[in-house]
Amino acid sequence: MALISVGIDHEHASLDLLERATVYEHEWSKVLRALMCQRNIHEAVFVSTCLRTEVVAVIDLFHGAIDEITHTLSDVTGLATEAFADHLTVHFDRGVANHLFSVAAGLKSVVPGEFEVLGQLRRALELATEEQTAGTELTELFQRAIASGRRVRSETQIARGTTSFAQAAVAMATEEFGVDLAGADVVIIGAGQLAGGIARNLLGAPARLRQLTVVNRTVERAQRLRDEVGDERVTVGALADLSTLISRARLVVAAVEVSTPIVTRPDLERCDQDVLFVDLGIPRAVASDTHDLANVQRIDIGDLRERVEQALDDRHEAVDAAREIVSDDVERFLTDQRARGASSIVSDLREYFDEIVAGEMTRRERDIDDLTPEQREKVASLLRSVVAKIAHRPTVALKEAAGTDQGTRLSETTRTLFDL
């Protein structure tokens, strides 16, 4: 068996494709169950965020598993396989660890070092554990990757400054687009982790806004966010009143999962004062045809990505340091994995040889009947010593090659030769 990861991410696919490939979190369980019905998949973890839809799995046959994962993604997203086959990112065995550890470190995020990805990976593993699709191998992989991600953020400066969509979105709105928050009304659509981060950043801005209204499909969740923030400027609005709230706002931030835009063209046309829409939704939450509307400006994750890349010149050293930590942690993980992978076959091989020695001593009992107990033990010790020397080289080879394709072949051959 081997490790594989197959996915669509922002580094190799357009925002349009990512938008269409997004799978809502409440549907992840269905994806996991579909994956486990496949012939070549033994363990699976699935994660789908605004910038990544990915399967990490323990598999049998490489090409067979890719076909099964691809067809599963096609079924759950409604996309034809031809629509995303050329944009898939595939990693195998060692490459899976390198990839996942880098993702956890924030090295593959639009905002390097951002913290949200750790929570996303943790939730994906928790759900796979609940669905019993993550065994010991994937659990260890994800736990070690998350721990490495925490280490990167504590030992490097990669998390200095803008470290999340929330911070980057607020900074871009106020600095680059010049939105004056002083006395302004702001609307946040959504009440999840990202929306909460945006709310806190806006409320903590030097320019004191007048009112921040949280609008969400589930009113109780919006109320919970209001209570958690604990600021008298935060109110909860009804989804039915969104159009009216937008018409009075200076800034609108959409941080919500929707299948179709929740802010439509007619809503935008009602804006008779300057307003900036920050659309962090994938699929998009705000209608994109705004170029002919004089009072409306709109930015999305693509704009945010460009701004962040321009602002990272002073963090190259931190990124390099983060990569070194990831490389070190991956090597430690693979070393431990090799040791665990070899322990079973080596233990079985040694037990097999010990049984041969014990069996021969029993079979030749009459031949050594005239020996004293001490002499018998010397004979047994000699036999064990000879067998240990014969077993030494195969044992070393199995340990050194464990966790690789060669190791898999050696293990299979060893079990076949010795009928283990």
Which pLDDT band holds residue 341 (cuts at 50, 70, 90)? low
Q: List the domain range (segments joined by +) for residue 18.
A: 2-155
Report the pLDDT value the prediction gives residue 335, as an integer from 0 to 100: 79
What single letter denotes the amino acid at residue 293? L
Same structural domain, 371 and 293: no
Residues with catalytic function: 50
Residue 323 lies in a domain: no
Residue 355 lies in a domain: yes
Same structural domain, 34 and 88: yes
Domain boundary (98, 121, 155) is at 155
Residue burial 49-77, b: 16+ Cβ < 10 Å; e: rest: bbbbbbbbbbbeeeeebbebbbebbbebb
Residue 94 lies in a domain: yes
CB 229 within 8 A of CB 239: no
Compute the mean pLDDT over every residue in the chain, rounded to the nearest whole number. 86
Task: Indicate which CATH number applies to the domain containing 60.
Answer: 3.30.460.30
Q: What's the CA gap between 152 and 81, in Å, rounded?
A: 36
Percent of the chain with pLDDT over 70: 93
Q: What's the CA gap between 330 and 140, in Å, rounded?
A: 12
Residue 66 lies in a domain: yes
Range from 139-148, 306-315, 381-390 that averages highest in pLDDT: 139-148
Q: What's the CA gap between 214 and 238, in Å, rounded?
A: 9
Residue 331 lies in a domain: no
Element (H, E) at 46: strand 41-49
Residue 350: CB atoms within 10 A of its CB come to 14
Report the pLDDT value the prediction gives residue 374, as an integer from 0 to 100: 87
Report the pLDDT value the prediction gives residue 358, as an integer from 0 to 100: 85
Same structural domain, 8 and 145: yes
Same structural domain, 299 and 394: no
CB 127 within 8 A of CB 32: yes
Q: What's the CA gap between 169 and 189, in Å, rounded?
A: 14
Report the pLDDT value the prediction gives residue 314, as an integer from 0 to 100: 58
Q: How many residues does the chain have?
A: 420
Same structural domain, 228 and 204: yes
Residue 335 lies in a domain: no
Q: What's the CA gap between 166 and 349, in Å, rounded?
A: 55
Task: Indicate which CATH number applies to the domain containing 239.
Answer: 3.40.50.720
Same structural domain, 66 and 136: yes
CB 308 within 8 A of CB 282: no
Report the pLDDT value the prediction gives residue 164, as an integer from 0 to 100: 63
Residue 327 lies in a domain: no
pLDDT in tens, 389-413: 888 888 888 877 776 667 777 887 8
- Strand partners for 253: 188, 278
Q: Is 113 left (phi over 0), alpha (psi -120 to 50) or beta?
A: left
Higher pLDDT, 62 or 407: 62
Same structural domain, 258 and 195: yes
Residue 304 in this model has a pLDDT that exceeds 80: no
Report the pLDDT value the prediction gives residue 89, as an integer from 0 to 100: 93
Q: How many separate domains does the chain show?
A: 3
SS3 labels along 110-154? CCCCCCHHHHHHHHHHHHHHHCCCCCHHHHHHHHHHHHHHHHHHH
Same structural domain, 12 and 79: yes
Higher pLDDT, 230 or 115: 230
Report the pLDDT value the prediction gives residue 170, as an integer from 0 to 100: 82
Backbone angles phi, psi at 226, to 5 degrees: -55, -45
Residue 106 lies in a domain: yes
pLDDT in tens, 110-157: 777 777 788 889 999 999 999 999 998 999 999 999 999 999 999 988
Same structural domain, 261 and 360: no
